[in-house]
Amino acid sequence: MSLVGALPFLKPCLSPSVSPGRQRRHTLPASEFRPLNTQDAISVFEIEREAFISVSGDCPLHLDEVRHFLTLCPELSMGWFEEGRLVAFIIGSLWDQERLTLDALTLHKPKGTTVHIHVLAVHRTFRQQGKGPILMWRYLQYLRCLPNVRRAVLMCEDFLVPFYQKSGFKVQGRCSITVASLTFTEMQYPVRGHAFMRRNSEATGVPQTALLLEDPIQRIESTLLLEEPAQGILADVMGFRSSTMPL
């Protein structure tokens, strides 16, 4: 699975107000999106454990499972780093069936064309800032650069269905997977065509890297700030499997 076309979506997203000269003095970029690796596993699990255990008593992925997926398919993960610190992440794997089954929780199917999003979590000190929806947007755009991916799927609790519908996901029906007393709705997002920023860069002649730094992310952040309080809270309550932790 080639990452060449997806690289623009993993470059730092820097504030236009920071001058190049000032930026050069920093060792680490202010904000960076990149695939995770096994060295990130402990940081990932610490964020996930704090987010989920207090709510559901368990984590979507245990530490050995985090390492498992970051070994088999690191290109299907994405971490958001602020000055080198992991603040939010998504972990996915490939699946090769129309609907999710229990095997989808632990297996990676290299020949599959469906990305199963296992977990999205945000560090507690960075919640209520809209980082969850922004990271999801970037991740879905990134998937559009991967040539063999046709769709993304997730399972969420019913009260989150309207939020994911706003993000482009469509309901497939009740999920066959249950966790303790929790039941889920299965949703999918069609991944087709070229990524938003690449398509627009071709039409306008503006370099992809320049487009990466402007309107799309700023528009999302502005929308989140303008939403009603209840919607803002919903936007920060995202998760999969045990989907009640705050983001």
Q: Is 93 part of a structural domain of the chain? A: yes
In angstroms, the CA 64 to CA 89 distance is 17
Respond yes or no: is residue 142 known to be catalytic: no
The count of domains in the chain is: 1
The C-alpha atoms of residue 75 and residue 138 are separated, in whole angstroms, by 14
List C-alpha distances in Å: 189 to 165, 186, 197. 9, 11, 18
pLDDT by residue for the chain (247 residues), tens only, comes to: 555 556 555 655 444 555 545 555 556 668 899 999 999 999 999 999 998 876 666 788 999 999 999 999 999 999 999 999 999 999 999 999 999 999 999 999 999 999 999 999 999 999 888 898 999 999 999 999 999 999 999 998 898 898 788 888 999 999 999 988 889 999 999 997 665 544 444 443 434 433 333 334 444 444 443 333 333 333 343 444 434 344 5
Exactly one of 120, 211, 212, 247 is catalytic; name it: 120
Within a domain: 211: no
Tell me whether residue 59 is in a domain: yes
DSSP H or E segment with residue 224: helix 215-226
Identify whether 107 is a catalytic site residue: yes
**In-domain check, residue 110:** yes
Domain span including residue 63: 31-150
Residue 202 counted as domain residue: no
What is the domain-level CATH number for residue 51?
A: 3.40.630.30
Q: Does a structural domain hold residue 80?
A: yes
Phi, psi of 124 (to 5 degrees): -55, -35
Which candidate in 93, 201, 242, 243 is catalytic?
Answer: 93
Kindly state whether residue 126 falls inside one of the protein's structural domains. yes
Query: Pick the catalytic residue: 94, 118, 123, 142?
Result: 118
Give the number of other CB atoms < 10 A from CB of residue 58. 13
Active site residue 118: yes
Q: Which phi and psi (to 5°) does residue 220 adopt?
A: -65, -45
- Out of 7, 14, 72, 107, the active site residue is 107
Tell whether 11 is covered by a domain.
Answer: no
pLDDT tens readout for residues 95-145: 999 999 999 999 999 999 999 999 999 999 998 888 989 999 999 999 999
The pTM is what? Answer: 0.73
